[in-house]
Structure 1
Amino acid sequence: MSSEDADQPTVERVLPPRAGLTTPENPWPLRLLSENLHAYIARCDPTWVEGQVVELNQRARVTYLTLRDVDEEISVPVTLFAREMAAMDTPLERGMRVVAQVKPDFWTKTGRLSMIGQGVRPVGLGDLLVRIERLRRALAEEGLFDADRKKPIPSLPHRVGLITGRNSDAEKDVVRNARLRWPAVTFEIRNVAVQGTSAVRAVMGALEELDADPEVDVIIIARGGGAFEDLLPFSDEQLIRAVAAARTPVVSAIGHENDQPLLDFVADVRASTPTDAGKRVVPDLVEEKAQVARARVVLDRAVMQFLDRERVALESLRSRPALDQPEGMILVREEDVDRLRDRALRTMLHRTDREKDTITQMKHRVRALSPQETLSRGYAVIMTDTGAVVKTSEQVTAGDPLAVRLSEGELTVRTESVSSRRPGQTAGRPGDQQ
């Protein structure tokens, strides 16, 4: 350093109060960033979390754990001190499901973030059962387990979707038993993890893929037996809701007869074992052939009975007189027509004769009442020269010409005298005219 530099006073640099105010010309010292991070993280509250122990490294004074989420591929390191390990009743083991209270801690010298754990307690079987039962009741209240939501399995599926573990006994049992019953059955198999933290996501992905395939008519989710903890993914709420939303019928074949995860409740069909699932999804070829044979026998018998019945009916119809002697019907109708025609003719003649007699009588009556008939009996009709009939003596006077009409012929006369004498009176009474 030169003497001139030594004579100049030292200027203290002012650091930015916040990280956002730092610049390349005025940066923070690394220690300040580490101290600020430590102070910020130290203000975080402790949090109770649940996870599965996947790594365990025990030392004299400190135990290092790695907790993994029960559903996702997310892991967090946790540090336990000796006093926490000593307070536990059950020693920790890999694969154990635990609940712990963790508080984040930032180590300033190395810049490492870790979790300080305390109150670690294993999640017992009873706690898991209580959680599953609570979830089962909640889903049942939503109606996800209702019988009217379940879809029927097709009698002969075109293709069967199978979700199971790779090279598992469950896959072999399903495929073998299905093909023993129906050799032509085809499978669309998806080998996924069926236990562990990735099982739920893997099974849901395979289910979504098979459900979108129009060739797949039914989906089987199969897994062999295992511990209760190994079957927990098949009671996961996300998987249950995915199965409920599937359009394709789903068959649950998880574990053995006594194992019953929540998947069994939401599935359209529950098979007690993978072997049972292989038998349920396809019909038995031998039994179907036997049923076809029985149906053919029944059909043949029904056809023969129908033909015999119709043959008897035809013979009965042919034996009837109408068909045996069809001309008899014509003869009977001909006789009826002749009889009716004769009766109509007789009736008409009788009516004609009767009406003829009536006309004759009326003719005689009219003749008897006619003027000509009166004239034939000796009467005459006297008329004036004007043609008027003379009815009284007052109509004529002495000397008037008159016409007399007889029964045959007519006379012309002249009136000599007029008298008002009536029949039965004597002549010469007063009023007579000469």
Structure 2
Amino acid sequence: MTSGAPPNSADTPWPVRTLSLKLADWIHRLGQVWVEGQLTQINARPGTRTAFLTLRDPAADLSLSVTCDPNLLRRSEIPLTEGSRVVVYGRPNFYTGRGTLSLRVTDIRPVGIGQLLARIERIKGLLAAEGLFDARRKRPLPFLPHTVGLITGRSSAAQRDVVAVATARWSSVRFRIGEAPVQGPTAVPAILDQLAVLDADPEVEVIIIARGGGSVEDLLPFSDETLLRAVADCRTPVVSAIGHEPDNPLLDLVADVRAATPTDAAKRVVPDVAAETAAIETLRNRNAHALRNWVARELRTVEGLRARPVLSRPQRLIDEQRAVIDRFRADLRRAVDHHLTVEQHRHTQLAARLATLGPAQTLARGYAVVQRIDDAAPHAVGSVDQLPPGARVRIRVADGAVGAVVDSTDTATPDPEGTAS
């Protein structure tokens, strides 16, 4: 809007020509720019002075009309065809008469294999730095998925291989197939759409992205940064089955599992039911064999224990101990009998000695025992001093006792035999 012009409003609207002129002026200020894209349409009729191209962004559903001198196409070192990656240099133009935008280019450079590989390496380094290739992000595949999502070309050999191999391995497996172009400018947007649909389906347990082998240019969509980030963000495990063994698009690094071929992907995702059944039968046989061996080993152990004397004749231990006890009892009885015999003999000797030394024997030899009985307590006397005249005494001899009264005392010297005179 120029200085002093009335402001744009509902009361003072711009005419269409004014808006077109302003847009053209702003776009022309952009100047010359370099733009990268993929050719999706080439229209260069013989005898015309202008070639019309369509340049498409491989990662988005956006395209731009391009015009150039047909000689630019003819002078290209590499033939330019639909699907070629190019870098163009030109000025954007806005045609006010039709209200359209186009890019008038003065230079077209095909992107060679070396440049493509260098760009892939830059993307690889960027995603690796962000951790999108980290093994800790990889999700495990389900053991026996009931529904498998498959993104592949329409009626392609890869689709037939995956479905045929998986069905042969497990006939009950089901597929949700999302058909999309697997090369060219429309491949990435179509694959992204199918990926979003399958990832949102709660019945899909794993997604396979498959296509056959091809050149580096053919496999470029599977190294596209937008597709790689979408695969990394999927909640469903993704298997990459792109090309053959030597082909290594970046999708192999981002996917949860990399399969060498579409056939290999089918084998990795769907187990062989026959092989699994055979493995289960083998394990059952091994378990049964191990169980039988264990039972046989335990039976041998039990038989060995039963064969031991302590278990074969449990009473033997009791008998042995009983014999020991009987022997101890006999030894004890002999010891007691011997002790009793010795003590009895000793008792007999002592009794004989006691009888010899006792008062009865003394009395039998003519001795007598004199007891004074007129005192308060009768007691034997051993001296004439204890027998005053008139004392009453009791005289005990061998065959009895007599009473007497002392009328006199006489002190006499004892005879050699110890009897009184």
Q: TM-score, normalised by structure 1?
A: 0.68
Native 8 Å contact 1:50 1:99 kept in 2: yes
Alignment of 1:284-299 (within 5 A): 284=272, 287-288=275-276, 291=279
Indicate whether 1:349 and 2:333 are aligned.
Answer: yes
Cα offset, 1:58, TM superposition: 4.0
Distance in structure 1 (CA, Å) of the matches to 2:56 and 2:186: 11
| 1:120 corresponds to | 108
Indicate whether 1:251 and 2:239 are aligned.
Answer: yes
* Structure 2 CA distance for partners of 1:185 and 1:27, relative to 1, 3 Å: closer
| 2:214 corresponds to | 226
* Structure 2 CA distance for partners of 1:69 and 1:383, relative to 1, 3 Å: farther
From 187, 198, 207, give the equivalent of 2:195: 207
Cα offset, 1:362, TM superposition: 9.1
| 1:184 corresponds to | 172
Cα offset, 1:259, TM superposition: 2.1
| 2:42 corresponds to | 56
* Structure 2 CA distance for partners of 1:87 and 1:312, relative to 1, 3 Å: closer
* Structure 2 CA distance for partners of 1:212 and 1:57, relative to 1, 3 Å: closer
Give a deviation string over 1:376-414, Cα, whole Å, max 9, x none: 686989999687999999x99989989999899999999
* Structure 2 CA distance for partners of 1:186 and 1:107, relative to 1, 3 Å: closer
Cα offset, 1:170, TM superposition: 1.3
Cα offset, 1:123, TM superposition: 1.6
Cα offset, 1:71, TM superposition: 0.7
Give a deviation string over 1:50-106, Cα, whole Å, max 9, x none: 111223344744443322111111112234357976886556443222223444434
* Structure 2 CA distance for partners of 1:130 and 1:62, relative to 1, 3 Å: same
Distance in structure 2 (CA, Å) of the matches to 1:404 and 1:118: 179
CA RMSD of aligned residues (A): 5.2
| 2:121 corresponds to | 133
Indicate whether 1:41 and 2:16 are aligned.
Answer: no
Give a deviation string over 1:201-245, Cα, whole Å, max 9, x none: 433443344445554443221112333222211112233234344
Report the identity percentage: 43
Cα offset, 1:163, TM superposition: 1.6
| 1:157 corresponds to | 145
* Structure 2 CA distance for partners of 1:84 and 1:274, relative to 1, 3 Å: closer
Aligned length: 404
Cα offset, 1:129, TM superposition: 0.5
Alignment of 1:228-377 (within 5 A): 228-284=216-272, 287-288=275-276, 291=279, 330=315, 332=316, 335-336=319-320, 339-353=323-337, 356=340
| 1:170 corresponds to | 158
* Structure 2 CA distance for partners of 1:72 and 1:403, relative to 1, 3 Å: farther
Native 8 Å contact 1:161 1:189 kept in 2: yes
Amino acid at match of 1:339: A
| 2:416 corresponds to | none
Cα offset, 1:262, TM superposition: 1.1
Indicate whether 1:80 and 2:68 are aligned.
Answer: yes
Distance in structure 1 (CA, Å) of the matches to 2:371 and 2:309: 84
Amino acid at match of 1:188: R
Instruction: State which drifts further: 298-307 or 138-147.
Output: 298-307
* Unpaired segments ≥5 residues, structure 2: 363-367, 412-421
Instruction: State which drifts further: 158-167 or 74-83.
Output: 74-83
Distance in structure 2 (CA, Å) of the matches to 1:266 and 1:87: 39
Amino acid at match of 1:42: H
The SS at the match of 2:172 is coil
The SS at the match of 2:163 is helix
Native 8 Å contact 1:78 1:102 kept in 2: no
Distance in structure 1 (CA, Å) of the matches to 2:326 and 2:61: 115
Native 8 Å contact 2:144 2:271 kept in 1: yes
Amino acid at match of 1:43: R
Distance in structure 2 (CA, Å) of the matches to 1:348 and 1:381: 52
From 59, 74, 92, give the equivalent of 1:71: 59
* Unpaired segments ≥5 residues, structure 1: 1-14, 420-434
Indicate whether 1:194 and 2:182 are aligned.
Answer: yes
* Structure 2 CA distance for partners of 1:399 and 1:200, relative to 1, 3 Å: farther
Distance in structure 1 (CA, Å) of the matches to 2:392 and 2:83: 165
